[in-house]
Structure 1
Amino acid sequence: MSGTLTRRIGLFQATAINMSQMCGIGPFVTIPLMVAAFGGPQAMIGWIAGAVLALVDGLVWAELGASLPGSGGSYVYLREAFQYRTGRLMPFLFVWTAMLFIPLIMSTGVVGFVQYLGYLWPSMGQGQGDLVGLAVVGLVVLLLWRKVENIARLTTVMWGIMIVAVGAVIIASYSDFSPSMAFTWPAHAIDLTHGQFWLGFAAGLTIGIYDYLGYNTAAYLGAEVKEPGRVMPRAIIFSIIGIMAIYLLLQIGVLGVVDWHEMLDPNSVASKSVASAVLERVWGHAAADVVTVLILITAFASVFAGLLGGSRVPFDAARDRVFFRSFGKLHSRHRFPVLGLIAMGAMTAVGFLIGRHTNLATLIGLLTTVMVIVQALAQILAVTVLRRRQPDLPRPYRMWLYPAPSILAAIGWLVIYGYADRNAPGLHPIEWSLVWVLAGGLAFLIWSKVEKVWPFAPTEIQEEYLPAKA
């Protein structure tokens, strides 16, 4: 439980942890997607809108993380808020959906890996790219099929490589920057009365929030954060503002070197490997090759770290009797969760193939849609539920201007959800997300029947974070 862990993560470390998860392969593959969504260099609006949604949603995380400072993040918050009427249903559904959206996030890294590999291997065909991506997933699972004591060094190296790659692209772009290319917007670029603008805005908001995902990472380590009431909200806000500055510098810099029309051509280098295109035009092919290799390393390491952490989610829940017991079994020799790793590795491979045979924007839409119901909207509701159900819960941080940030966050997530089908025509992400949640509900009924818990037994109320009563 939370009391067995040492609170050693301060503000700087928490901010660094958040930022290291937020900025990986994402910006290198989504800049062209953002331009395509808005239809021009006004795409920078998407990064700002994504930051605003991340900030107001981050305040939800901040209050929950400060008042319920345990390991597990959403799992803990949903368990505490919704245990009164639905027992363990909500934490179970969170784990169920996490087993889909976590590997889908990782699969975007594999798609990005193959895209940038195409710059070094221009003759690579569709089938060869598919095999390479599947081989990357297999290699990651193989490398994780062993005892992993500590990933801090890997995370540090990945962060350092990513910073070098991002820094190189920013410096290169502004050393040969054309303001007219970056700031000449098409006629009627911002027409608030036209439905097409809002469709593009919703698509850009979806891409933007995908790139900011990770602002809540420190909340999952709540039991190890010092002074969570002070550190949690500051770490969230500082990391979002810092990453927003990096993304805007990247977006504007790239637009000042590469004509945005080129990014709309799905077969162009600017569309598939925009960072490589910038380096090639400014510093030459050799520099572009070097930075491309750094981006490939970043992509691979992010998938490795993501699957390592993700495979532990169902394991921890199973050990806490909130998920299927089979996910709580460890490898007899290397002591890692076998079933969680296999399941998430397989789902990552499936997600990669979906992204390869549709497009990356569709994959991002699918994963964000899955997150909305059980995590994003449920946590927003959890803040209000806990204020009513546990009024005596210590709240060292209370959401600023409550409930305005909750309402704005809910509106933002509902915009993403409501436009999901229109931004992925023919693929029905809304319907699939509902199917997945309903399947999770059926799985919960089977599990709860076996475990003899609600609704087949009275609810068990455990207000773990309330002060002990005299």
Structure 2
Amino acid sequence: MRPAQPTATTSPAPAEPQLSRELGLLPATALNMIDMVGIGPFVVLPLVMQLMGPYFMWAWVAGALLSVVDGLIWAELGAAHPEAGGSYRFLRLAYGEHTWGRLLSFLYVWQTLVQAPLVLASGSIGFAQYFGYLVPLEAWWQPKLVSGTVVLLLVALLYRRIGSVGKLGVTLWVGVLVLLVGLIGCGLLLGHEPVPLLPAATDGTVNWAGLLLPAALGQATVKTIYSYLGYYNVCHLGAEIKQPEKVIPRAIFLSILGIAVLYLLLNYSVAHVLPWQVAGKSEFIVSTFIEHLFGPTAAKLATGLVLWVAFASLFAVLLGYSRIPYAAAADGEFLPVFARLHPTKHFPYVSLLVLGGAGFVFSLLFKLSEVISAILAMRILVQFVGQAVGLVLLRRRRGTAGLPFKMPLYPLPVVLAVGIWLWILWSTGVSFMLSGLAMIAAGIVVFLLWSRSRGRWPFAR
């Protein structure tokens, strides 16, 4: 007899890597807040003063109010659907996963491939602008070298597991708070300039007509809302949040409240030290503010902290956006290569590298003034307005019984959010509105060609 042959055993196939839920409330809120702050308030503060004059703080109030009403939409959707991709996932669910939702979510990812690198570029360009206070950047290529290097360093730092990313985010967040609280304290304690909050008529009563200037307030709010954007970053990381039904809404509103208070106090403190006519003309408002109080050495230290804040914000921005093409590709609704996760570190490395690479290129090509309004004009219709309407559709179709978080006073926040976003879109100007519409039109053409080649809706065979 032949000896019995050993029985072959088949090893189980290794499990596909999955995103890990490792972020709690503290790192989630920290990543939101550092995404929101960035270079924005330090760059747009003088621009808002130029537009609104001595009543500049009302533009920051308007930005905070829009963030709150829109945050209610994000909180309800994020708590109910805590998955990677944020708006991509919400739009698909709201408008139909196999019909119009495919188009809306595709357009969102399509825009992300351009607007996410633009956001990254705007922050890195602003970083280079403030860096010029420390080291004069006289040759045309020197600011571009700085901004490009910042993007490459961000990609290198994000090339790791989400758990360590969360810890690094908290460390960066501490730097954000130190800078803002320090600036506010200096201004409140050492300033002497009067800061009028309301215009007065000749008889001493409040002149509301002098405050509510729709054109000026709209243009100024375009700038301030750019500085608030990011309160929804936690929704992009939904698949990596612990207890998302509780943490996501809390992180959204804690970050909005915290940043709104800090922004209002920061603006008041700056104007309490420097007359708004002077502050509105400063290219390095924080540096000018500290130099006026403590001299050039202290101003350089403060500038270094501004650079820390700007870098921390870009860190959170690239982290959140890199999850969007990944989520679409994992669903089979985008190029499959974007669905790849790192085999050991479990993060979407292809998406990170592509967006980071595009951000590097854009940082070399554009100026800061060219991207702020364009970023908003490109996003408003598909993402913000489309998502608000989508929440109404989801409520009608699925009801509200299973919602972990329900917005109060529904549907008032939805109506307010849509109305204010459309007002902001109009305030960006005709040229930016048309550029946003052109981007949508190009995305529709690409979607139709791609769907036809695959025989999918609206060309299903």
TM-score (norm 2): 0.85
Matched, 1:276 2:287: yes
Separation in 2 of the partners of 1:256 and 1:400? Answer: 37
**Does the 8 Å contact 1:62/1:233 carry over to 2?**
yes
Rg larger in structure: 2
Separation in 2 of the partners of 1:329 and 1:10? Answer: 25
Aligned-pair CA distance for 1:312: 3.6
- 385, 391, 399: which one pairs with 2:399? 391
Q: Identity, % of aligned pairs?
A: 38
Q: Deviations over 1:413-436 (max 9, x none)?
A: 0011012116xxxxx111111111
Separation in 2 of the partners of 1:31 and 1:145? Answer: 29
Matched, 1:81 2:81: no
**Does the 8 Å contact 1:165/1:294 carry over to 2?**
yes
From the superposition, tell whether residues 343 and 184 of structure 1 become closer, same or farther in structure 2 (CA, over 3 Å). closer
Name the structure 1 match of 2:84.
Answer: 71
From the superposition, tell whether residues 439 and 262 of structure 1 become closer, same or farther in structure 2 (CA, over 3 Å). same
From the superposition, tell whether residues 222 and 330 of structure 1 become closer, same or farther in structure 2 (CA, over 3 Å). closer
Aligned-pair CA distance for 1:71: 2.8
- Which residues in structure 2 correspond to 1:445-464 (within 5 Å)? 445-457=448-460
- Which residues in structure 2 correspond to 1:158-169 (within 5 Å)? 158-169=172-183
Aligned-pair CA distance for 1:186: 7.4
Aligned-pair CA distance for 1:59: 0.8
- Which residues in structure 2 correspond to 1:197-276 (within 5 Å)? 197-225=213-241, 228-265=244-281, 271-276=282-287
Name the structure 2 match of 1:461.
Answer: none
From the superposition, tell whether residues 213 and 301 of structure 1 become closer, same or farther in structure 2 (CA, over 3 Å). same
- RMSD, aligned CA: 3.1
**Does the 8 Å contact 2:192/2:272 carry over to 1?**
yes
Q: SS at 1:29's partner residue?
A: helix
Aligned-pair CA distance for 1:26: 2.2
Separation in 1 of the partners of 2:132 and 2:331? Answer: 44
- 48, 55, 62: which one pairs with 2:61? 48
Matched, 1:413 2:424: no
Aligned-pair CA distance for 1:163: 1.7
Q: Deviations over 1:85-120 (max 9, x none)?
A: 425112111111112222222222112212211211
Separation in 1 of the partners of 2:94 and 2:378? Answer: 21
Name the structure 2 match of 1:462.
Answer: none
Separation in 1 of the partners of 2:316 and 2:235? Answer: 17
**Does the 8 Å contact 1:103/1:344 carry over to 2?**
yes
Aligned-pair CA distance for 1:408: 0.4
Separation in 1 of the partners of 2:302 and 2:241? Answer: 35
Matched, 1:292 2:303: yes
Name the structure 1 match of 2:9.
Answer: none
From the superposition, tell whether residues 125 and 33 of structure 1 become closer, same or farther in structure 2 (CA, over 3 Å). farther
Larger displacement relative to structure 2 (396-405 or 410-419): 396-405
Larger displacement relative to structure 2 (50-59 or 284-293): 284-293
From the superposition, tell whether residues 454 and 372 of structure 1 become closer, same or farther in structure 2 (CA, over 3 Å). same
**Does the 8 Å contact 1:310/1:344 carry over to 2?**
no
Separation in 1 of the partners of 2:348 and 2:19? Answer: 20
- Which residues in structure 2 correspond to 1:107-256 (within 5 Å)? 107-122=121-136, 124-141=138-155, 143=156, 150-180=164-194, 182-183=195-196, 197-225=213-241, 228-256=244-272
Larger displacement relative to structure 2 (74-83 or 298-307): 298-307
Letter in 2 for 1:447: W
Separation in 1 of the partners of 2:76 and 2:117? Answer: 27
- Which residues in structure 2 correspond to 1:300-311 (within 5 Å)? 300-311=311-322
Letter in 2 for 1:251: N
The total of aligned residue pairs comes to: 437
Aligned-pair CA distance for 1:397: 2.1
Q: Deviations over 1:115-137 (max 9, x none)?
A: 21121134635443234323433
Task: Name stretches of at least 5 consecutive residues in structure 1 with no aligned partner.
Answer: 266-270, 423-427, 459-470
Separation in 1 of the partners of 2:158 and 2:391? Answer: 39
Separation in 1 of the partners of 2:192 and 2:262? Answer: 19
**Does the 8 Å contact 1:151/1:305 carry over to 2?**
no
Aligned-pair CA distance for 1:22: 1.8
Name the structure 2 match of 1:435.
Answer: 438
Letter in 2 for 1:346: A
**Does the 8 Å contact 2:184/2:265 carry over to 1?**
yes
- Which residues in structure 2 correspond to 1:339-418 (within 5 Å)? 341-347=353-359, 349-350=361-362, 353-356=365-368, 359=369, 362-391=370-399, 394-418=402-426
Separation in 1 of the partners of 2:209 and 2:198? Answer: 18
**Does the 8 Å contact 2:339/2:348 carry over to 1?**
no
Q: SS at 1:69's partner residue?
A: coil
